[in-house]
Chains A and B, each alone.
Chain A
């Protein structure tokens, strides 16, 4: 292993490890406040998430949504843009997939219907991710604020569409799709019976591989990363930064939006108001803990999915909202640890060099 690789790995992994350790310690304190033993709670958590096929399959289900949304955020962050709009993009994607699935005639073969539904989802993401990109490139409108505000607009718009136009009686969801449903994993692995985990999990893995390839093996990905590192230098070297921004936001929006298919095509087969339940915000943590690397995102998504599934198993001992507290601590510790670790490593290197 070369020296530079080791240094890069240290810089990439150390903040995540430090942040997780801090969260673990503060989590212990919280658990003790409830008069429970941390070891007992954590082992119950792991047990609930990984100790049985159903729990594990649910972890995979949650990993799927978080991976898509995390990739959407990470890709934009590589271009130096903070996409806080994943919550709205997830919803828009799910809605787009549902509209296509409802419009198709029943009996449309899956090989036709599924790609069309995925396109429907991507179209939702293109709109909700692309708009902030265009506003940033053309008018300099800050993407953080625009994507946050757009979340509220998209969710209100979809709520209106559901309530006034598309609702099935006494519910807040659309009719079921006629075509485009994908099989659950339990059809291949009977032990997963009852879990919502479905084939879109593999789509998420494929999306992560595609992201890696795009970012690190194509000229477009190079331009995107160069823009993220130093937009002025990128512009000077002939990269059209505005276009890169629009492309990064549009791609990020589409990736996040595809996460909505996990729910619509794989689980419920309809769009339901409020199904995202904060996944789009948790995905920000996924992207950050995954250090904006596509494979890091998959691992971080799996980690946060485990926390959330494990949280259900410990509800009898401590409130399951403790998981939200832990997530908050991880993000905060991560944000504080990144610059700190970088500085520490840099000064350590100077000492070594001297």
Chain B
């Protein structure tokens, strides 16, 4: 395989990770735990499929997918911000809810327990770079970095995640900031799912297959910094491309390459490669 194909394949694999990790980063920096990324992605993939199926337009599919991610982002927000539900528990519930709902609605609309009919996607071309979602995914990292570090709202997000009491004392509406942050994370992670569904021209059950958790791994391994998290996504995608290319050649078993993101995350959390420190108020309800 020539290097150009290797790089384009890696970038395409990285797109859903980049979307979801950027989204997760915004929510986590605002203090909301992002175990929900998997659910947001799956909801985005499903909604995009429905949107594209009924309109025949991939663009409508993208909008519908973003709305699907937004919907569950807001649900997670209402549960954790308004009702002060445990963020980990709410996250698990949201994931379970999306897996169940997508299958039930698939049955209701298409009478299938496994996949949707073929839907319209983008003309991706051989390299895949004709798909605007690829470019959006690559752009999501600098956009989120700009939002967090160069805008007043980004500073409010950071304040809400580091010290909500202090933020509130200077007039920041912490609840509002957290709602917006979790909504942004729903939309971004949802777009990651949209890319998967439109690229494959259909929705299949549980098609995100744990990618939301790899995205969380990237956020943590990237120490909650957008650039480092983006780098982690590219690293994990490279490992995956190698795994696909090396299959059958022998050498390292594919299962071990698949473990790389998870093992690196544990190592990073254990502080063996410099400490990964979470936002101080991560997971804590605002009082």
Contacts and interface: CB of A to CB of B under 8 A. Distances in A.
Interface of A: 30, 33-34, 82, 84, 135, 138-142, 144-146, 148-150, 152-153, 156-157, 159-160, 163-164, 281, 284, 288, 318-319, 321-329, 331-332, 334-340
Contacts of A331: 89, 92-93, 96
Contact of A145 (B79, B216, B258): B216
B35 A148 contact: yes
Contacts of B97: 324-325, 328-329, 332
B104 A322 contact: yes
B213 A148 contact: yes
B124 interface: no
Contact of B89 (A33, A288, A319): A288
Contacts of B113: 319, 321
Given A139-B269, A153-B259, A160-B256, A332 B90 contact: yes
Contacts of A339: 83-85, 285
Contact of A150 (B83, B90, B104, B262): B262
Contacts of A159: 255
A227 B92 CA distance: 25
Query: Which secondary structure dominates where chain B touches chain A?
Result: helix
A94 B9 CA distance: 38
B270 A336 contact: no
Given A328-B97, A334-B89, A141 B270 contact: yes
Given A30-B104, A324-B99, A335-B89, 10 more contacts: A144-B88, A145-B265, A148-B213, A152-B210, A321-B113, A322-B104, A324-B100, A328-B95, A335-B93, A336-B84
28 contacts: A34-B108, A84-B92, A138-B270, A139-B270, A139-B271, A141-B269, A141-B270, A141-B271, A144-B33, A145-B216, A145-B265, A149-B261, A152-B259, A156-B256, A164-B253, A319-B103, A319-B107, A319-B113, A321-B100, A321-B103, A323-B100, A324-B97, A324-B100, A335-B89, A336-B79, A336-B83, A337-B83, A338-B85
Contacts of B99: 321, 324, 328
Interface string B259-284: 10111011001110000001000000
A82 B89 CA distance: 9
Contacts of A140: 271
A286 to B, nearest CB: 12
A141 B75 CA distance: 28
Contacts of B88: 82, 84, 144
A328 B94 contact: yes
A33 B101 CA distance: 13
B220 interface: yes
B266 A325 contact: no
B5 interface: no
Given A148-B35, A339-B84, A141 B266 contact: yes
Given A150-B266, A281-B92, A157 B259 contact: yes
Interface of B: 33, 35, 75, 79, 83-86, 88-90, 92-101, 103-104, 107-108, 113, 210, 213, 216-217, 220, 253, 255-256, 258-259, 261-263, 265-266, 269-271, 278, 285
A146 B108 contact: no
A201 to B, nearest CB: 26
Nearest to B98: A328
The 3 closest A-B pairs by CB, nearest first: A324-B100, A328-B97, A335-B85
Contact of A335 (B86, B255, B269, B278): B86
A135 B266 contact: yes
B175 to A, nearest CB: 15
Q: Chain A at the B interface: mostly helix, strand, loop or mixed?
A: helix
Contacts of A144: 33, 35, 88
A34 B105 CA distance: 10
B92 A284 contact: yes
A83 to B, nearest CB: 11
B278 A142 contact: yes
Contacts of B220: 145
A149 B104 contact: no
Contacts of A160: 253, 255-256
Max chain A Cβ within 10 angstroms of own Cβ: one of B85, B96, B98, B216: B96
B85 A152 contact: no
Contacts of B263: 149, 153
B107 A152 contact: no
Nearest to A288: B89
B112 to A, nearest CB: 10
A145 B282 CA distance: 13
Nearest to A147: B266
Nearest to B205: A321
A288 B103 CA distance: 25
A328 B269 contact: no
A82 B86 CA distance: 11
Contacts of B84: 336, 339-340
Nearest to A142: B269
B224 to A, nearest CB: 12
A323 B271 CA distance: 41
Nearest to A334: B89
A288 B90 CA distance: 11
Given A152-B262, A322-B100, A331-B96, A336 B271 contact: no
Contacts of A324: 96-97, 99-100, 103
Nearest to A330: B93
Given A319-B107, A322-B104, A335-B86, A156 B266 contact: no
A149 B217 contact: yes
A139 B217 CA distance: 18
Contacts of B262: 149-150, 152-153
Contacts of A281: 92, 96
